[in-house]
Each structure stands twice: as structure tokens, then as C-alpha cells.
């Protein structure tokens, strides 16, 4: 389901266990990736040119998981419900605040949207930025804090684990092994992640700028404010987006304090407000580089 809302700025957004993941054999050829990278760069050139004559900022808000994919689950709190509530609150804030912004949701209800389709929704709408909202999870209850990811080569095993967990959503898709959109990508292959890191390279700087602003405002929250920083990893949902894109882990649903916070209406509202402030700052930043 693709939901579009045209916004109106007063001048002035316990882990479901999946055991023994089996991905299709990694068969991607280097020449194919070079060709695709050139195609992405060409699209970036066209994309940038289109934005110069149009002041509308198109923001795609992606509520992680949904439908038959609940995401992480801890003490009956489901990630898919938390992310949807935050996404809708963020969208409303943008709607109420900006007249030169168009908001597009990848889902606006408890529906299942395939990972590759989320990127396609952003690309079809010629999005200016793509924001994917998630909740983190750990087998221990002590880890806490937010972290925002951009597409890139993971710098630690923890980053890779986060990407693998979020990429498990692909297992809910019918015949995902045959999906040409994934090109046989294997998240468990070191070689795949090296090649994977080249994607989104044309938008890396803008993505990092937006991600930094998100973490700045999330770390300024009153109750839950620890920031684990801006990180890089390979996420299928960000793979083929042709615009600056980020994935926000709003907090650990496995941590008792953060779980209670993220399950509450006030907590979700505060998260949405933090992302909204980051988008507002990013919007102001864009006006300085035009």
C-alpha cells in the first residue's frame, strides 16, 4: 500500500526468532555491479537536476516491518506497531508545519510491504530523502540508546548484526530467493558487503548530514537520550534508493526502560518530534547549498 499526503510549512518525522537463515547463493558479477553503479550515478545526475527547478521537498517515511512481519518482539511490544505510530506522528507534524513538503508513506496501516518495494515507492515519487524507522534489539537487556544508519560498509560486528536482523524481513516475502530485485545478494557474505558498500555512495555525504542531525536531536530528549552515534551497514531497504537515505534505530525494545518509553504515546511523540527537528534542520541546510 502506497500512501501519499501532500503537506501544508508555516513558512518557517523479544526479536522474532528466525533460525538458520538461508539466502540464495551469491552469484553477482563485478561487471554487473559496475554497470549498476554507473546507472545509479546517472540517475543521481538526473535526480539532482530535477530538484533544482522544484522547491518541493519529497519525504518518504518508512515504518519498518508490518503485517505478517512484526519485527522485534519483547514483552508483547511489537516493533511494527511502534514504528507505525512514530511514522504517522512524524508525517502529521510535517503536514501541520510545512507547505513546501510532500510526505509519502510506504505503509499507513498494519500491512506488509516488501523491502524492495519500499525503495521503489521512494524512487517512483522522486523522493528528496528516505527515512526508515525501526527499533533495536539485543539478546541482553542492558544495551540502550538510538543510532542512525546510512548505507555503507559495516565497521563492526555489531553494525553487521543490526543489518542482518533488519534484513531478515526478506524471509517473509514469497519466493524471495527468486526476486531479481535482490540480485542474489547474501548478507552473510563478506564479499557481498564490500560491493554493497558502493551503493548509495553518491548520496553518502547528504545521508550522513541528515543522520547526524537526527542523532543530535534524539540525544536531546528528556528521558531516553543516549546516542550511539551515526553508523554504516548494508540494509536491503536502503540498497536501491536513489536519494539521501537513513535508517533510524529509535531505541532498544529489549531494554525495559526504553521498551516502556517506546510503547508509550509520549515516548513515540518525542521520537517523532526529534526526527521532525532534524528534517527541519536538514531542510534549512539544503537552502544554504543551492
Dihedral-angle region of residue 73 (phi above 0 means left; psi in -120 to 50 means alpha; beta otherwise): beta
Res. 81 pLDDT band, cuts 50 70 90? very high
Residues 277-281 have a mean pLDDT of 98
**E strand spans, 68-204:** 73-74, 77-78, 101-105, 129-136, 146-151
Res. 190 pLDDT band, cuts 50 70 90? low
Q: Please, what sign has the CA dihedral across residues 208, 212, 215, 217?
A: negative
Classified as helix, coil or strand, 48 is helix
d(CA 220, CA 227): 9
216-246 per-position pLDDT tens digit: 999 999 888 999 999 987 787 887 788 999 9
d(CA 264, CA 110): 18
109-125 per-position pLDDT tens digit: 999 998 888 988 999 99
| pLDDT in the model for residue 151 | 83
Mean pLDDT of the chain: 78
66-79 per-position pLDDT tens digit: 999 999 999 999 99
d(CA 84, CA 262): 12
| pLDDT in the model for residue 15 | 29
**pLDDT above 90 (res 177):** no
**Where are the alpha helices (H) located in the chain, listed in sequence order?**
30-52, 79-97, 115-124, 157-167, 190-196, 204-218, 236-239, 256-263, 265-289
| pLDDT in the model for residue 218 | 97
19-56 per-position pLDDT tens digit: 333 334 434 444 455 455 555 555 544 444 334 346 89
d(CA 161, CA 273): 28
Amino acid at each position: 500500500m502506497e500512501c501519499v499526503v501532500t503537506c501544508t510549512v508555516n513558512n518557517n518525522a523479544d526479536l522474532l526468532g528466525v533460525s538458520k537463515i538461508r539466502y540464495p547463493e551469491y552469484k553477482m558479477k563485478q561487471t554487473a555491479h559496475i554497470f549498476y553503479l554507473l546507472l545509479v550515478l546517472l540517475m543521481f545526475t538526473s535526480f539532482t537536476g530535477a530538484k533544482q527547478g522544484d522547491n518541493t521537498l519529497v519525504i518518504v517515511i518508512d515504518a519498518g516491518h508490518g503485517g505478517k512481519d512484526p519485527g522485534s518482539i519483547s514483552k508483547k511490544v511489537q516493533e511494527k506497531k511502534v514504528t507505525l505510530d512514530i511514522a504517522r506522528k512524524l508525517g502529521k507534524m510535517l503536514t501541520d508545519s510545512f507547505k513546501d513538503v510532500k510526505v509519502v508513506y510506504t505503509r499507513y496501516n498494519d500491512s506488509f510491504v516488501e523491502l524492495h518495494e519500499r525503495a521503489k515507492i521512494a524512487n517512483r515519487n522522486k523522493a528528496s530523502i528516505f527515512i526508515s524507522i525501526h527499533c533495536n534489539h539485543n539478546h541482553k537487556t542492558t544495551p540502550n540508546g538510538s543510532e542512525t544508519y546510512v548505507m555503507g560498509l559495516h565497521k563492526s560486528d555489531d553494525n553487521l548484526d543490526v543489518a542482518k536482523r533488519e534484513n531478515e524481513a526478506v524471509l517473509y516475502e514469497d519466493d524471495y530467493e527468486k526476486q531479481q530485485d535482490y540480485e542474489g545478494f547474501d548478507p552473510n557474505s563478506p564479499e557481498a558487503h564490500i560491493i554493497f558498500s558502493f551503493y548509495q555512495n553518491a548520496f553518502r555525504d547528504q545521508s550522513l548530514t541528515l543522520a547526524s542531525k537526527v542523532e543530535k536531536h534524539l540525544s536531546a530528549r528528556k528521558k531516553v537520550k543516549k546516542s550511539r552515534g551515526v553508523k554504516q551497514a548494508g540494509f536491503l531497504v536502503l540498497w536501491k534508493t536513489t536519494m539521501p537515505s537513513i535508517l533510524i534505530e529509535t531505541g532498544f525494545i529489549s531494554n525495559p526502560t526504553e521498551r516502556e518509553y517506546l510503547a508509550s504515546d509520549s515516548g513515540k511523540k518525542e521520537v517523532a518530534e526529534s526526527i521532525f527537528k532534524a528534517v527541519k534542520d536538514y531542510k534549512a541546510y539544503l537552502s544554504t547549498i543551492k
